[in-house]
Amino acid sequence: MTQLADAVTNSASVAPSPADWPAQRLTEARGIVVDFVHHPDSLIILACRAIAAHSPDPRERGEAVALAGLLIAVSNRRPKGGDA
C-alpha cells in the first residue's frame, strides 16, 4: 500500500499540469474541427464544446455551437438499426 501511495505522490510531483492547459485544449480542438473528415462526429462535437467554452472570439464560439448543433441534428436523423 505504501508503494502505491509513493507512486501516486511521485507521479503528481514529476508531471504537474501546465498552467496553459486551456490554450492547449483549444488548439487541439481547433485541429480536430479543421480535420473533421478524419474524426468521428462525437469527437467533433466535443471539440466544438471546448471551443465554445474556451475561445476568446465570440464569432468562433458561435460557429462552434452552430456546428455542434448541426452534427447533433444530423446524427439524430440517421437510422439506428433495424429494417432499412
pLDDT tens, position by position, 3-62:
544 544 554 454 556 778 888 999 999 999 999 999 999 999 999 999 999 999 999 999
pTM equals 0.69
83 within a domain of the structure (yes/no) = no
Tally of domains in the chain: 1
64 within a domain of the structure (yes/no) = yes
47 within a domain of the structure (yes/no) = yes
Q: Which domain holds residue 57?
A: 20-77
65 within a domain of the structure (yes/no) = yes
**Cα 45 to Cα 9, 31, 41, 66, 84, distances in angstroms:** 35, 13, 6, 10, 26
4 within a domain of the structure (yes/no) = no
25 within a domain of the structure (yes/no) = yes
Provide the grid cell at 62. 458561435
Q: State how far the Cα of 45 lies from the Cα of 33, in Å rounded to an integer.
A: 9
